[in-house]
Structure 1
């Protein structure tokens, strides 16, 4: 399959080939998740007594729970071993094992659809990761709401459905997450480059960002009406310099 000359394919055959590759990739991703699950089972502290389960702070290995409430413990250092053999960082390996365990123990309906080839693994992983802090019952509620629609709607709509299900299942947790997100707000200015440019990153309430964006767009359009022939993005950048001067604005 992978030795064929794609340039000789008709458009229809090329699209069929692409679809086939996507299906193979999904099967491989599902298989990798299953490998992670079985690997984690083999390094559960109760089944590997040679691995100590000490408390935190003494420098020795301990048992950790990955994936959220309801997932089994795994020996801490086993994560790094798994990551090395699949060629990823320990953090990425940890996330993979966490997602795999969460799918099996907290999102069984979604996991069943992945195994049946009816749900894309990476989409499912985004859902379970967004629900890591939910308790087991709340996670299962989200599972019931989203399992059947993962591959029927866009990722954006899927995210909205997931958020709505999370809020219904655990309103207090949703409120806490909103408060935590508010703590991340700020305005950050990057270093300048050798050409006199700088970047600015703003995380603020959506309404404030929308108003700011509208003001920038209005100034950019005014500059165009006054004869500025530069591109829209150049005019928007110019507007950032105009905004601090209320009279000029």
Structure 2
């Protein structure tokens, strides 16, 4: 083997060890910062004073309710993700100290340790420690899935009654979710009963096989995806299944009325649940879906640019043209945001709220991806009774309740120099510019001192910017 390749491989192995060290250190530092963090400010209404909350489970210390917002900026992730990471870190450190120590000693990767602590959350502390002690010594030789399957087995064996109770609770959380947009396609995830899931899988396979005759060249996975969409229209799905079971039945066309009376509609010798006919135009049986689609005026008639679909994302106008022919479309008046007048009332009108939702469809806070619908509409500059034109697009922003509290309490400071552009400053002095295009971290107003680490010890030595007195 070439010596240069060996050196490169050794460098890769070294970098991977550094990654494991950095991830373990990140969890340690998050815990340290959360336990040190305290917002200081004065002249604040008592009800808005900083609260201490427990986010890491039983045994974890109470921390500032605003620490998640600070971590979101530092870790460049949405606040809800930062809060989840902190909860995992604190739970690991305080409820599973031996597992936490194994992570610091690099016997188990940080992500595995956090996942293991989460899986053991329903076990008593002493039982959880025994389970993870046995697991740590065996998991390193296993891949991610195999390691977690081993842990799940150990958990069930440690407390079968508790495992059965978890199964009952899990079934109570069943659901199906449609989310995200990736190049013209959306994700579908869910949790079903075991038998329902297998029935669905079989039904999808059955319809996919029928569609294969009409769509040659499509992969099996693409046909299964289309089949699930067909099952969302029960009448159309039934017509396809009937046609496949009864060769004499006219091919179903969702845009055509049934054949004239007397036409061949079914095989008279057919027996079973799939015999019969559809007597209503299938287009009339589609479920009604209200969906706003936004296109730029330059794209109209030319199929260029992109189209934004509410609660889905952006697709090309070319794909939009392919999707619309079989869909009844209702055109709604366009809201010209520049023409939406300012208001003197405190609560925005329905028209102004709708215009703001079109302008800012997500919370305008560093790295947040929380959808704006249902959030507080906060005045960036506090509302002063008697002053005119305060309630307007350029002085409103959708915020979650926690962010709203942090801003109202002046723990976080914000300016809105232009509509849809907010400049935030955290309690530790870190500054962020947030627009509809994303978040940009500005230079810290109070630069943290250079961090130094003693890689031979379990605890890092580091400088920490001091919280600003309010």
Question: TM-score normalised to the size of structure 2?
Answer: 0.41
Taking a change above 3 Å as real, the CA distance of residues 58 and 123 of structure 1, as seen in their structure-2 partners, is same
SS in structure 2 at match of 1:118: coil
Shift of 1:15: 3.0
Where does residue 88 of structure 1 map in the other structure? 77
What is the correspondence of 1:64-213 to structure 2 with a 5 Å cutoff? 64-169=53-158, 171=160, 173-187=162-176, 202-213=190-201
Q: What is the RMSD of the two structures over their aligned residues, measured on CA atoms?
A: 3.8
Where does residue 4 of structure 1 map in the other structure? none
In structure 2, C-alpha distance between the alignment counterparts of 1:12 and 1:238, rounded to whole Å: 48
Where does residue 6 of structure 1 map in the other structure? none
Where does residue 30 of structure 2 map in the other structure? 36
Shift of 1:22: 1.4
Gaps of 5+ in 1: 1-8, 52-56
Q: Does 1:230 align with 2:218?
A: yes
Taking a change above 3 Å as real, the CA distance of residues 103 and 199 of structure 1, as seen in their structure-2 partners, is closer
In structure 2, C-alpha distance between the alignment counterparts of 1:88 and 1:189, rounded to whole Å: 22
Taking a change above 3 Å as real, the CA distance of residues 210 and 17 of structure 1, as seen in their structure-2 partners, is farther
Shift of 1:75: 2.8
Q: Does 1:21 align with 2:10?
A: no
Shift of 1:170: 5.1
Greater fraction helix: 1
Question: TM-score normalised to the size of structure 1?
Answer: 0.70
| Cα shift readout 1:116-168 (whole Å, capped 9, x = no counterpart) | 22211112122223334544334323322322233221211222233334444
Taking a change above 3 Å as real, the CA distance of residues 218 and 32 of structure 1, as seen in their structure-2 partners, is same
Larger-Rg structure: 2
In structure 2, C-alpha distance between the alignment counterparts of 1:37 and 1:145, rounded to whole Å: 25
Total equivalences in the alignment: 229
Taking a change above 3 Å as real, the CA distance of residues 24 and 217 of structure 1, as seen in their structure-2 partners, is same
Where does residue 5 of structure 1 map in the other structure? none
Shift of 1:28: 0.9
Taking a change above 3 Å as real, the CA distance of residues 133 and 226 of structure 1, as seen in their structure-2 partners, is same
In structure 1, C-alpha distance between the alignment counterparts of 2:194 and 2:17, rounded to whole Å: 38
Taking a change above 3 Å as real, the CA distance of residues 18 and 217 of structure 1, as seen in their structure-2 partners, is farther
Structure 1 runs (4+) greater than 6 angstroms displaced? 48-51
CA contact (8 A) 2:99 2:129 kept: no
Where does residue 244 of structure 1 map in the other structure? 238
CA contact (8 A) 2:31 2:89 kept: yes
Greater fraction strand: 2
